[in-house]
């Protein structure tokens, strides 16, 4: 293969194909899991898709017909795996943001307390606590206002983003709300 454009172009195509494959494979795995007897798990699907795409990327870049030199192949491999795994991280966080947020919050509560019972954790992280924390932020962002003790939407920016995420999650068969 021509070292000037060919191998770089091939590595770029592998990265682009890998990013597309991540989304499609995650969607396919979510669809498969969503039609089974258990609820879809965006986490398991995303991790499985990432592993598969990483293996396919390694195979594609180590193919003897593609390899120009071991050095260049190593550079392309490092670059491709960095791009693929960064894309996997972004897509996983994009589609699992609510789960990720809850996980991080719960882990931080346990970290701060060092040891905590599940009942105490439930007291610290419950619907009322979540609402008390989120409403002032949304008011400060101009997305809602409080008048006479009632809340009213005043902005659409965050709501539009939430609707887009919900549409993508539905299309990829990822539950919009985490299973209870």
Q: Is there a contact between 82 and 19 (Cβ–Cβ < 8 Å)?
A: no
Whether residue 91 sits in one domain with residue 15: yes
Domain C-terminal end among 76, 95, 114: 95
Whether residue 52 sits in one domain with residue 20: yes
Q: Is there a contact between 55 and 80 (Cβ–Cβ < 8 Å)?
A: no
124-168: per-residue pLDDT in tens?
777 787 788 788 888 887 888 999 989 998 888 777 777 877 777
Q: Is 148 exposed, middle or buried (0-12, 13-18, 19+ CB in 10 A)?
A: exposed
Confirm whether 180 is domain-assigned: no
Domain C-terminal end among 95, 120, 141: 95
Whether residue 12 sits in one domain with residue 87: yes
84-116: per-residue pLDDT in tens?
988 888 877 765 666 667 777 788 888 888 888
Whether residue 50 sits in one domain with residue 115: no
Confirm whether 177 is domain-assigned: no
Whether residue 81 sits in one domain with residue 136: no
Domain C-terminal end among 78, 95, 112: 95
48: containing domain? 6-95
Confirm whether 52 is domain-assigned: yes
Whether residue 88 sits in one domain with residue 12: yes
């Amino acid at each position: 293969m021509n070292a000037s454009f060919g191998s770089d172009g091939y590595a770029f195509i592998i990265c682009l194909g890998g990013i597309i494959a991540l989304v499609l494979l995650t969607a396919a795995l979510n669809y498969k899991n969503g039609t089974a007897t258990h609820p879809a798990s965006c986490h398991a699907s995303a991790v499985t898709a990432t592993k598969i795409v990483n293996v396919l990327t390694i195979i594609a870049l180590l193919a003897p017909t593609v390899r120009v030199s071991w050095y260049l192949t190593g550079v392309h491999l490092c670059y491709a795996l960095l791009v693929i795994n960064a894309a996997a991280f972004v897509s996983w966080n994009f589609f699992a943001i609510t789960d990720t947020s809850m996980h991080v919050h719960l882990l931080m509560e346990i970290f701060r307390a060092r040891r905590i019972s599940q009942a105490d954790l439930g007291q610290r992280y419950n619907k009322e606590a979540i609402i008390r924390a989120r409403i002032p932020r949304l008011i400060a962002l101009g997305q809602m206002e409080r008048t006479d003790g009632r809340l009213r939407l005043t902005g659409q920016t965050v709501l539009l983003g939430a609707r887009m995420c919900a549409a993508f999650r539905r299309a990829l068969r990822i539950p919009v709300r985490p299973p209870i």
